[in-house]
Structure 1
């Protein structure tokens, strides 16, 4: 069974977790195929993409792009949102030997409405075109290490572009311009069948909203398993936020038991909330009907 990716539930607590309802367009889990999980049918064409182990070592659970392969997304209407958007993905890039960027996920031709990139200096970035031959480009300041997995989230909220790398906001810029939203091609692994990405890719999802830091954290810690027709996403990890300042929410009501790293009982109860606000900072294990979860208390 797929290591899940994380897509939406209608869950927002006072501790600032996420509501992705009505904002998720599609998620590519790459569970041995290139078909997306989506609420409306989306047709795709696989042009040479193969499958490799994902970040957890599960075989054939991530897509591999060889620098010539890509995926054509033939159904583009769901990506014509003309407003805020976010792109979340896991990438394991190979060193970029080109003089220009690889393109990981794009909507373009004639305008570049959105793009996630990997530069010749091994930096992740995002961009869009507010006018013909003009690009709002945001690139991380630091290079990534080729051959390592990174969780990348690109966010555009209408006035600001942001990049998160492994749950850390690494770059941000304000803008008074907007994408033209005239692109007619959506591709994974290339820009209009050129500047092809080389490396592994997993758990790619597109949202028609600007994700918050709390939502980015939830995506970083979790993994999506399914997206139903009413846009409810099933998460593999049922506890959030993690790390926590004190209050923890369970996705499902359950009996729960909290132990420290030495196995000592800290608390127990039943329901959907656990309050660790009076507990000293540290690592704890919460056992529920769904399994045992490692939680960090700040």
Structure 2
């Protein structure tokens, strides 16, 4: 399963298992990729899949060996491969890199703390520099897969779904201009859980009525290409009015059976 989210949170979510879902891949935007994070994902046996907006000039690819050696084997690949990998530094720090990965994987260190230390240190240690070197190699391998395999470019579609979900949460969390003003951690947690509950309820509602709408379209127009459904997000919100007074007639809702009738588009039969 792919988890679309910001990289710092995504690293913690993947490594420290904030979710019970079997997540193995993390999709992120172009700005959220760093070489150190690429390295940490590879060492902990997860996959970092960022969207690459400008492969020609946006990132630097890394190579093993000198530029002359690379140009001799791949005469058309010398110019893009401007970065080099210090294999000796990686080899000397490999044991420390594995120990850091084990600390993350088994919860002895928090991913957010490690990533913050790696990115804020003014004078990088040998371990930090080795992680950057190894991350350059891992990002190059990912970029090559991104170019060669069209299936790898599904990241954009996954991120669009994640962004639509974030937009739904922002629209629902309109009170106090979207800020959590509770003083105590327990109250802030309750507020966040309530937002998740409402968001999940809307997604469940949308999913159920999507199925009814698809069945209705299948009866009228015949078979629907299921591959098209991969482009549909259940985080629609145009029909949701978050403002006003809320009533919760629990008994009446329990007594309700079946679904509401589907609304027909204007001008349809």
TM range (shorter): under 0.3
Structure with greater proportional helix content: 2
TM-score (norm 1): 0.22
* Bigger RCO of structures 1 and 2 (CA < 8 A, at least 6 apart): 1
Larger Rg: 2
TM-score (norm 2): 0.24
Structure with greater proportional strand content: 1
